Structures are given as C-alpha cells and as structure tokens.
Amino acid sequence: MVHKLDIQEVYSKKLNFMRFIFLGVGEAFDENYPNNSHLVITERTKLLLDCGMTAAPQVWKFNPDPNLLDAIYISHWHADHYFGLPGLLLRMWEGGRTMPVTIISRKGFKEQFKKLMDLAYLGFQEKFKFEINILEAEVGKETKFNDLSLSFTKTVHSSENLAVKISDNKNTIAYSGDGSPIAGTDFYNNLDLLILETYLYDKEIIGHSSIVSAISFAEKNNVKCLALTHINRDFRKNDLPKIREKIKSDKVKIIIPEPLQEYDL
C-alpha cells in the first residue's frame, strides 16, 4: 500500500506497533528511484536508515516537520547512503529544530561527518540550535536507543558496511545496507522483516546480493518477510516486469516496495 502521507496519524496517536516506511528503494544512480533509505517508527522512536544524495527529499515529502527524526543510522560511507545528511540537517535547522538528533555509524564517523559538513556547508553546523550526538556502532555490541535495541554485523561490500538489526521487544527487523549478508551466524534468524540490498536476478556480483541468493538466504533463516531494494536501474526498468512472477517463495513473503510504501509489523 502506498503511504497516503497521513502525517497527523503519525503524530496524533502513538503507534503500538512497528511501522516501516520505504522512503527510497533505488541503487546509487537511478533517475527514477531515490536512494535506499527507510524510516522505522515505533511507540517512542523515529529512526531513519541511511540518507543518500537523493534520499533527503523523500523525508520531507513524507513529513517536513524539522523535529521528526530522533536518530539516523548510516550503514556505510558511500554517497548514496550518507551524502543527503548535510541537506537534511540544514533543512532541520532552517525549520527551527530544537530537539537533539543522534547519528549512529561505525567507528570513525565523527571525523568523517565533520569532513562532510565542512565540505558541504562550511561553518553552518555552529549555527544549529540543536545538538548532534554521534554514537558508534560496533559488531557484537548492543546499542540501546529509546525503545530500540540495535546490533550490527558486517556484510561483503566494497566499503566497510554494517547491517543493523532493530528490535522493539515485539518485532525484530534487519536492514543490510549494502553488500551480501554473511551466512553462518544467527544474526538474521527468525526476523519479522529483512530488507536486503539486491542488484540483479541471479547473477552474483561481488559486493551485492542477487534476488535468487537473497530469497534462499531468507528461507534458510526463517525470515517472515523479505523486502528487495537497491535493485540495478536497468534491470528494474527492463527485466523485472517480465520476471516478476518468478520471484516467489513458499516459505517467505517477498515484497519489492515502491518509494513511500509502508509495512506494518
């Protein structure tokens, strides 16, 4: 179902379930689909997952409130996953944000973030009327944020990428960021929702999952629902409509979401 941009609903009553919004579902350079970026909404938290160069406008389209987000998770430092941050933060500032925001990413992000902000809008961060807290994500260490528990694991990608698992004690989901997941851990077992980056149908490219391998991975891990995102732009446009029927599983519900589509858990 495509989200009806019912902003009032998100605010007027607290959700007693986890809502996942696929803000953008595209790969790095797709002219039709904004970069892979998602919003997790629970009773007490609104967490953005990744914010690439074409993702920030999706956040504003969904809801332009400058105080919307509590936290932002950055899976890895590729432009299609974090170059939207300066614009997102400056629009929060222009909108009069007062609430602190937490950015979570792997070790070293503080320096990387400073470089990014200096390059994009030198001197502007000092004007912000809100605090930016940086939390370091570490493999094997659980991070608590409001009503969420977050844990992290590496994937196989061309840059160090950490997949994140998010639990609100009722539901558990995981988002791969980029890269194929590493088998042989219980990290992905019994998830209610797994958002996996995939690139092509059955052709394996180092650093990316294929649709076929993603389905088999989700089946082995007893995942309830698998969402396929970050699909190659030419494949998505030209081939996916022809083979859409082939993408199915007896064991796992599979969705290929459109931007701003929501999924309630």
Residue 78 found at the interface with Zn ion (CB under 5 A): yes
Residue of 137, 223, 144, 142 lying closest to 177 (CA atoms): 137
Cβ 83 to Zn ion shortest distance, Å: 11
Residue 80 found at the interface with Zn ion (CB under 5 A): yes
| Closest CB to Zn ion among residues 199, 217 | 199
| Closest CB to Zn ion among residues 83, 187 | 83
Cβ 82 to Zn ion shortest distance, Å: 10
Q: Are 188 and 154 in contact (CB under 8 A)?
A: no
HSE, CB side, 13 Å, CA atoms: give it for residue 15.
21
Cβ 17 to Zn ion shortest distance, Å: 29
- Number of neighbouring beta carbons within 10 Å of residue 63: 17
Considering only residues 220 through 259, tell me which ones interact with Zn ion, judged by CB under 5 A: none
SS3 55: coil
- By CB under 5 A, the count of residues binding Zn ion is 3
Cβ 76 to Zn ion shortest distance, Å: 6
Long-range contacts at 242-250 (CB < 8 A, ≥ 24 apart)? 243/201, 247/211, 247/215, 249/215, 249/218, 249/219
**Residues in CB range of 262: below 8 A, 6 or more apart:** 1, 3, 19, 20, 21, 22
| Closest CB to Zn ion among residues 81, 97 | 81
Q: Could you tell me which stretch among 3-11, 64-72, 74-82, 166-174 binds Zn ion (CB under 5 A)?
A: 74-82
Q: Could you tell me which stretch among 8-16, 37-45, 75-83, 242-250 binds Zn ion (CB under 5 A)?
A: 75-83
**Residues in CB range of 89: below 8 A, 6 or more apart:** 101, 117, 125, 128, 132
Residue 178 found at the interface with Zn ion (CB under 5 A): yes
Q: Could you tell me which stretch among 60-68, 72-80, 89-97, 116-124 binds Zn ion (CB under 5 A)?
A: 72-80
Considering only residues 82 through 141, tell me which ones interact with Zn ion, judged by CB under 5 A: none
Q: Look up residue 115 and give its DSSP letter.
A: H
Binding residues vs Zn ion (CB under 5 A): 78, 80, 178
